[in-house]
Amino acid sequence: MTKKTEIGEKYIKAATDSIKSAGSLRALYRSIYGVDPTRQELQRFTNRLNPARSNPATSMLGVCIEHLPSLHEKTLKEFFGIQGEGYTAKQGAVMEQECDPSPDPNNSAGSHNKF
């Protein structure tokens, strides 16, 4: 199990809250694993989604997102509860230009722009 750090704790809580908002834990287990959980399986699953007891691995987060349609349209920013504006359109255009793999017209050798 991954060790939890204080810096990422708010992201873990937001991610597990996003998952738990998709329904009851029993229904979530059934959606993910395709069967009803035993009492022990449900308790283990509950603990894995409790940020005070566990730090779910990305594989667990990925499985939850894959099997819970209500999470398919969420952005990473929404899923992890990240606040703020993010990139502006101008910053995005600059990033696209810097990462464009098309040949440089000013270079007769036809080399590509660097990423």
Would you kindly state where each structural domain of the chain is located, as residue ranges?
3-80
Picking from 5, 10, 4, the residue whose alpha carbon sits closest to that of residue 54 is 4
Close Cβ partners of 77 (under 8 Å, ≥ 6 residues apart)? 86
pLDDT value for 56: 87
Quickly list H helices, 1-115: 6-20, 25-33, 39-48, 58-67, 76-79, 89-98
Distance CA 58, CA 61 (A): 5
pLDDT for residue 3? 63
Give the Cα separation of 18 and 70 in Å (integer). 9
> Model-level pTM?
0.63
Q: Judge contact between 65 and 102, C-beta under 8 A.
A: no
What backbone torsions phi and psi does residue 112 show, to the nearest 5 degrees? -90, 155
| 10-residue stretch averages of pLDDT, the chain, 115 residues long | 70 92 94 96 94 87 92 92 68 55 55 41
Q: Residue 102: its pLDDT value, please? A: 59
b/e sequence 93-113, b meaning 16+ C-beta within 10 Å: eeeeeeeeeeeeeeeeeeeee
